[in-house]
Chain A
Amino acid sequence: MENFKADNYKYGFSYPEKPAYKLEKGLNEDTVKGISRIKNEPLWMLSYRLRAYKTFLSKKLPLWGADLSGLNFNDLYYYLKPYQSNADTWESLPKDIKETYDRIGIPDAEQRYLAGVKAQYDSEIVYGSLLAELKKKGVIFLSMEEGLRKHPKIVREYFGKAIPASDNKFSALNSAVWSGGSFIYIPKNVKVELPLQAYFRINAKKMGQFERTLIIADEGSFVSYIEGCTAPIYSQDSLHAAVVEIFVKKNARVRYSTVQNWSRNVYNLVTKRAFVYEDAVMEWVDGNLGSKITMKYPSVYLMEKGARGVILSMALAGKNQFLDAGGKAVHLAENTSSQIISKSISKNGGGSNYRGLVKVCANAKNCKSSVVCDGLILDKKSYTNTFPVMDVAGKNAQVAHEASVGRVDEEQLFYLTSRGISEQEAVNMLVNGFIEPIAKEFPMEYALELNSLIALEMEGGVNA
C-alpha cells in the first residue's frame, strides 16, 4: 500500500513563476549561447560550453543502469533566472522566495548551525551570506557564476579537470548549460568547523537543474559541505544533471554530505568526483530518498601516496522508484586506501541497486580497499541488485568485498514485538539500525531529517 501520496508530501508546493528571464524550451546552440550571454561570461567559457554541447550530441545514453528512454531533452527549459540580482541580507530577498525558504527551514538552520548559506532557486544562487571570520581567513564561498567572475584564474585552472565534458552524456550536457552551483576555495591550513550548506530546488515545470560545483581544499585545510534538495511535484519529468568536482590537496580533508529528496518525477543523473592528493582524505556521505530515477556514483581518484577515500551511500527506493547508486574508488598511487559502505532498501515494488568499482592500477603498491554493500528488501514486490567490480593489479594489494541481501530478520522482529513494540515501529527500528553506519555521519539536523523522511516512507508498512 503506497502511503506516500502527493498530498502528504510536505514540500509539494510551488509558487507561480515570475522569472526575470526564461529561454525558449528545448536545447540547441542558441540556448547555450543565450545562457553564456545572460551570465556575461568570458570567451573561454562560451567556447567550453559550445564544445561540450557538440560532445553531448555525439554521446549515447548509457546502455546500463536505469531506463532513460522517457527523457526528452527538447521538452525542457534550460534556464530560468528568478530575479535580478543576489541579495546580501535575508531581508532584501523577494517575498515569495523568502517564503519558500522559510518553509524549508533555512533561517533556523543559518542562525544555529551554519557558516554560510547559498540557496538556489531555479538555476541561480539566490542568497548567500558568509560569516565575517571566514571571509577574513580567505575562505571563498560563492555561486559558480560569481566565482568565475571574481576568480577566473582559479576557476580556469580546475574547471572540468576532474570531470571533463566528454566523461558521459550528462556531464557533457552540464558542461554546456550549467547554471548555479557553488564555488568554494579553502586556503592552506584553514579549517572550517561549521558545515557549509546549499539548497537546491526545481520549481518551474519541465525545468532542468544543471548546477556545477567546484571545491578546492588547499593543503592542510578542512571543510564539510552539505547539500540537501527538495522539489515540488509535477506530472511531467524534470531532469537534474549536476556535476561536482572536488580537489583535496595534500593533507587536506573534505566531507561532502547529501540528502537527496527530489519529488517522484525527477531524473537525477549526477556526476561527482574527487581528486585526492598526498595523505589527503575525501568523504562522500550520500543519502538517496527521492526522484523517479537516480544514477549516481560519487568517486574518489587517489592520485598520490597516502590518499584515502570513503564513500558512504544509502538508498531507499519506494513505489515506481529506481535508485542506481554506489561509488568508484580508483587507486593510482601507492599506499592509498578506500572504503565503500552502501546500504540499499527497497519497498513497494521499488528497486535499489549498488553499482561500484574498485580499481587498483599496476603501479599502485600496497593499497587497501574494503567494500560492504548490503541490500534490504522489505516486501515481495521489490528487488535489489549489486554489481560490484574489482579490477586489482597493484603489487601487495589487499581488497575485501562483502555483500549481502535479505529481508528484515524474523527473529529480531519477534524479539522487538515481544517487548511490546508495534510491528511498524519495530521495522522502523530495524531499518534505522541497518542504515546506522551512514546516518550517523550526517550532521544532527540532517540525521533528524533523514530519520523522519524514512519514517514517512515506512508508513506504508511492511507487507509480508
Chain B
Amino acid sequence: MPSKEIKVNLDKAKETAKVERVFVGRKNEELEIDIHIVHNARKTISKVLVKVVLYDNATFRFNGRIRVLKKAHLSEGSLRLQALLIGDNCRVFAEPALEIENNSVKCFHKVSISKLNEEEIFYLISKGLERDSAIDLVVQGFVRAQP
C-alpha cells in the first residue's frame, strides 16, 4: 500500500530530493498524497513531479508544501502537479503551498488540471483506433511526457 505522506528533510548542504509519482484513479477511488519538503541547508534542491489521471468518479487530494528555512541559501525547489480528468464526475483538491524565509532561493510550483484534448482523440480515431484505445494512447503520452 503506497504511503499517503512523503516527508523529506534536506539537512545537509547540496542534498537533492526528487519525488515522482503517478496516480490513476478509477470508479469511486479516493486517492491522496501529502508531500512536505523542508530545505534546511545551503544549495539544496528538490524536484517534485506528480501526474494524476482520473476516470469515472475518482477523486484526488493533494497537499504539497515546500518550506525553505533561513539557512537554505541558494536552494531551489520545484513542484509540478499535472492532472488529467477524463471521467464526468472527477474531482481534484490541491493546495501546493510555498513558505519561503530565505531570499536567495528560486522556488516555483506549477499546477495544471485539464481535460482530454478532443482533437487529439479525433485524430487517432480517424486513423482507425477505437475511442478507448485512443484515450489510452493519449494518457500514456501524458504520463510519459517530461516537463
Contact = CB atoms under 8 A, between A and B. Distances in A.
Given A362-B91, A385-B97, A397-B115, A402 B110 contact: yes
B141 to A, nearest CB: 17
B89 interface: yes
Nearest to A373: B98
Given A385-B98, A387-B97, A392 B112 contact: no
Name the 10 nearest CB pairs between A and B, nearest first: A377-B103, A404-B108, A401-B111, A399-B113, A393-B91, A396-B115, A407-B103, A390-B94, A383-B101, A385-B99
By size class, the interface of chain A is 20 to 34
Contact of B114 (A379, A382, A398, A403): A398
Interface in A148-176: none
A395 B113 CA distance: 11
B88 A395 contact: yes
A290 B39 CA distance: 31
Given A383-B100, A386-B98, A393-B91, A406 B111 contact: no
B135 interface: no
Given A389-B94, A396-B115, 10 more contacts: A377-B103, A383-B101, A390-B94, A390-B95, A392-B91, A392-B113, A393-B91, A395-B89, A401-B111, A403-B110
Contacts of A378: 103
A397 to B, nearest CB: 6
Given A402-B108, A406-B105, A362 B89 contact: yes
Contacts of B97: 385-388
A158 to B, nearest CB: 32
Interface string A355-389: 00000001000000000000101111011111111
A378 B100 CA distance: 12
Contacts of B106: 404-406
A404 B107 contact: yes
A403 B103 contact: no
A400 interface: yes
A384 to B, nearest CB: 6
Contacts of B133: none
A392 to B, nearest CB: 5
A2 interface: no
Nearest to B76: A406
A230 B105 CA distance: 35
A207 to B, nearest CB: 35
A392 B89 CA distance: 10
A41 interface: no
23 contacts: A362-B91, A377-B100, A377-B103, A380-B103, A383-B99, A385-B97, A385-B99, A387-B95, A387-B97, A389-B93, A391-B93, A392-B93, A393-B89, A393-B90, A393-B91, A398-B113, A398-B114, A399-B112, A400-B112, A402-B108, A403-B109, A405-B100, A407-B104
Contacts of A392: 83, 85, 91-94, 113
Contacts of A397: 85, 113-115
B71 to A, nearest CB: 11
Interface residues of B, number: 31
B25 interface: no
Interface of A: 362, 375, 377-380, 382-393, 395-407
B115 A405 contact: no
Nearest to A393: B91
B16 interface: no
Nearest to B106: A406
Contacts of A400: 110-113
A294 B112 CA distance: 29
Interface in B60-110: 70, 83, 85, 88-110
A431 to B, nearest CB: 13
Nearest to A379: B103
Tell me which of A375, A390, A402 has the highest count of chain B C-beta atoms within 10 A of its own C-beta: A390
Interface in B34-61: none
A384 B108 CA distance: 12
B99 A403 contact: no
A383 B114 CA distance: 32
Nearest to B88: A395
A311 B75 CA distance: 31
B99 A390 contact: no
A280 to B, nearest CB: 25
Nearest to A408: B103
B111 A390 contact: yes
Nearest to B79: A403
